[in-house]
A and B are shown apart, each in its own frame.
Chain A
Amino acid sequence: MGRLDSRLTPYLVVAPFFLVFGVFGLYPLLFTAWVSLHDWQLVDGAQRFVGLTNFRALLADRNFWNALGNTVSLFVLSTAPQLVAALGLAALLDRGLRGRAFWRAGALLPNVISVAAVALVFAQLYGRDFGVVNHLLGLVGVDPVDWRGETWASHLAVSSIVMWRWTGYNALIYLAAMQSVPRDRYEAALLDGASRWRLFRSVTLPSIRPTILFTVVVSTIGGLQLFVEPQLFDPGGTALGTGGTDRQFQTLVMYLYEKGFRLFDAGYSAAIAWVLFLLILVVALVNFTLARRIAPKG
């Protein structure tokens, strides 16, 4: 009885998570797949079974490819620099700074502020006619940039919002990991005459490898699901959700939202959701593999 108890208890303890996951994770996932196989109107529900028609239409849909391209571009533009900057920031915070708590709390501050507020402020900064950024550019003789109209400018602007929000957050995660690296490793390396950069590369990075992998996977998922920042950056707001007049910065999730909640085409929207899900799986796996290579075992 005692053995049975010790064998069963762990399962009982982890069961609640899997129950909750089943209800809030697995079931919606499967239901979405079911919806995607139908001509499904948001208000009126299923009209008829159409098989893979939605997916086929999706592959021939240039707006879908445009949104995919934008998502990848925004993901690369914001995630990669953000993680590198976070690593650097963490390395700085890891040193014996004066007023450490202040700097560390400060790093997290952007993340605590409501994303809606952040997006609104940035939308003002990047205003075409009266924005602060264009004003500053004007001071050094640069012509005003149409931050929402030009594709690259809009991607830079949205990426800057994402980076502002998440760099500090990732830095704190890295910092936590760095703090648990045994100090004698550094001392040993210092005795061997290692430089600061060498210490960082050969001691710090390998030691926090699991943490880097974790942030890479989490940022991948977050980056590919980018929605709120670009949606609020769009002057049309949620009324349009097209990400600019020519879909310059419409991401996949924005397109999903447009199709599902503005055009009421739930079936098509569900198809986008599934393609996005598969895409995230693939990219996360690729990133995972790459990140393992970049930070080799010590």
Chain B
Amino acid sequence: MSGTPVGRAAAAIAIAVAATMTAACGDGAGDGAVKLSIGVFSDFGYDRLIEEYEAAHPGVRVEQRKVKMEQHHTQLATQLAGGRGAADVVAIEEGSIARFRRSKDKFVNLADHGARDLRSRWTAWKWQQGTADDGDFVLGLGTDMGGLALCYRRDLFQAAGLPVDREAVGALWPTWADFLATADRFTAATPGVKFVDTAQNVYKAVLDQTEEGYFAKDDTFIADTNPKVAEAFTLAASLGEKRQTGALTPFSQDWNVALKQGSFATTTCPAWALALIKAGAGEEAAGRWDVAAAPGGGGGNWGGSFLAVPAQSAHPREAYELAAWLTAPEQQKRIFKETGNLPSEPAAYRDPEVTSAVNDYFNQAPVGRIFGDAAESLQPTYRGTGDAQVTPVFNNALGRVESGRQSTKDSFEQAVREARDAVR
């Protein structure tokens, strides 16, 4: 029987099934250790920390899953909906946490495990972003934050007859209007080079320096009436109208190519963006980039994440302990040194080890001090539950102005209309 092709195939299948089952059993039983998984995106700098954590907690095994940021959040949403598949500890980005706050019953209330005792670790606003119900429900523990600075190309500034020293560069633009004036000077001197990479980033930086953006603090939609939105939009769009932007999608493939070609001179940079610029521009541009203070008097937050524990986790207690350890100032400090992600905890960003940090690639810029200062003056914008829906609508609108397809006025009106529909 087993000599016939069918018989052989059947035998092969039987073996395969048996093998799978053994593997599955092995996975379940193991050495009795608690298996935790942690789901992150881009670089959280956890590789070495996790090894250490495992060494200190012999009963715990941690598996790290890295996915691209957009996929990570979409995947998390479907996993929460399906009630299975989510990691024990999941990272949630600032732009998405408001939306997940609405589904807080899918998460463990970390206050039940004592998270409220850790409250004093974080700046007040970071703590607040991670909580719901006036602080009774702790959804996530803060990791890094954005901070805001402005990265610029020294050689291109020099060619345009602008100062290159970072203090002098920062002094060029106390306000955003000064930033626009600098753009005009730059373009007049070197018309072939774009002053900024994209209007979107300027827009975001300006808007992030206001208290409320698309949503009021009671979560009502105000993008159509909030003058700050229109102001930020018009300001950024004017760069686009004058063709002073590269009309690039931030952090896209084209953005990387343009970085490599050196076709733009400045980009707004939160702390985590330094790594992206370095990766895109490559080693041959080392020392050409530098970091100066952002226009508009510092402040402004872009990005930063939280660690949350889905309710479906089989080990909520252990998951919470891991999240609390990873977000402790001591660990956050080390992550800053490794990846440049700026801690959201005063004890960490005021630590001499952090404030004295310089970045070799960015011409020895004292990033610890620059971002530490930015962190001190930081007043984050309120993020509404619909922020993630509305943001792309306005970004697309800016893209239409940059590519010359629409006037600022028409584009803004269309964006407001679409945004209203999106949060209907």
A pairs with B: yes
Could you say which of B47-55, B223-231, B254-262, B345-353 contacts chain A?
A: B254-262
**Separation of A261 and B76 alpha carbons in the complex (Å):** 10
**A104 in the interface (beta carbon within 8 A):** no
| Residue pair B257, A130 in contact (C-beta under 8 Å) | yes
- Contact flags A222-245 to B (C-beta < 8 A → 1, else 0): 000000000000011111101011
**Distance between B314 CB and nearest chain A CB, rounded to angstroms:** 20
**A28 in the interface (beta carbon within 8 A):** no
**Separation of A42 and B103 alpha carbons in the complex (Å):** 10
| Residue pair B399, A245 in contact (C-beta under 8 Å) | yes
**Separation of A35 and B226 alpha carbons in the complex (Å):** 36
Nearest neighbor of B386 in chain A, beta-carbon distance: A263
Q: How large is the interface on B (under 10, 10 to 19, 20 to 34, 35 or more residues)?
A: 35 or more
Tell me what chain B mostly uses at the interface: helix, strand, loop, or mixed: helix
**B173 in the interface (beta carbon within 8 A):** no
**A149 in the interface (beta carbon within 8 A):** yes
**Separation of A242 and B78 alpha carbons in the complex (Å):** 20
**A124 in the interface (beta carbon within 8 A):** yes
**B134 in the interface (beta carbon within 8 A):** no
**B100 in the interface (beta carbon within 8 A):** yes
Q: Given the known A-B contacts A43-B106, A129-B246, are A261 and B253 also in contact in the complex, defined by CB atoms under 8 Å?
A: no
**B71 in the interface (beta carbon within 8 A):** yes
Q: Which B residues are in CB contact (< 8 Å) with A256?
A: none
| Residue pair B74, A262 in contact (C-beta under 8 Å) | yes
**A127 in the interface (beta carbon within 8 A):** yes
**Separation of A246 and B398 alpha carbons in the complex (Å):** 10
**A264 in the interface (beta carbon within 8 A):** yes
Name which of B100, B261, B396 has the most chain A CB atoms within 10 A of its CB.
Answer: B396
- The count of residues in chain A whose C-beta lies closer than 8 Å to any C-beta of chain B is 29
Q: Which B residues are in CB contact (< 8 Å) with A120?
A: 253
| Residue pair B103, A236 in contact (C-beta under 8 Å) | no
Q: Which of A45, A127, A261 interacts with B254 by CB under 8 Å? A: A127
Q: Which B residues are in CB contact (< 8 Å) with A273?
A: none
| Residue pair A238, B399 in contact (C-beta under 8 Å) | no
**Separation of A123 and B69 alpha carbons in the complex (Å):** 20
| Residue pair A245, B254 in contact (C-beta under 8 Å) | no
Q: Which of A130, A244, A261 interacts with B74 by CB under 8 Å? A: A261
**Separation of A95 and B252 alpha carbons in the complex (Å):** 46
Q: Which B residues are in CB contact (< 8 Å) with A209?
A: none
| Residue pair A236, B80 in contact (C-beta under 8 Å) | no
| Residue pair B257, A42 in contact (C-beta under 8 Å) | no
| Residue pair A129, B263 in contact (C-beta under 8 Å) | yes
**Distance between B313 CB and nearest chain A CB, rounded to angstroms:** 16
Q: Which A residues are in CB contact (< 8 Å) with B397?
A: 245
Q: Which B residues are in CB contact (< 8 Å) with A187?
A: none
Q: Which of A130, A242, A261 interacts with B258 by CB under 8 Å? A: A130
**Separation of A44 and B78 alpha carbons in the complex (Å):** 10
Nearest neighbor of B249 in chain A, beta-carbon distance: A235
| Residue pair B396, A246 in contact (C-beta under 8 Å) | yes
Q: Which of B71, B77, B80, B257 interacts with A238 by CB under 8 Å? A: B71
**Separation of A41 and B106 alpha carbons in the complex (Å):** 13
| Residue pair A263, B422 in contact (C-beta under 8 Å) | yes
| Residue pair A129, B258 in contact (C-beta under 8 Å) | yes
| Residue pair A240, B254 in contact (C-beta under 8 Å) | no
**Separation of A114 and B78 alpha carbons in the complex (Å):** 25
For this complex, 23 residue pairs linking A to B, each with C-beta atoms less than 8 Å apart, are: A41-B103, A44-B81, A44-B103, A123-B253, A124-B253, A129-B263, A130-B257, A130-B261, A235-B249, A235-B252, A235-B253, A236-B249, A236-B392, A237-B70, A238-B71, A239-B69, A239-B392, A244-B396, A245-B397, A245-B400, A246-B405, A263-B389, A264-B99
Known contacts A238-B71, A239-B70; 12 further A-B pairs (Cβ under 8 A) = A42-B77, A43-B103, A129-B246, A129-B254, A130-B254, A146-B403, A235-B252, A238-B68, A240-B396, A246-B396, A262-B388, A263-B389
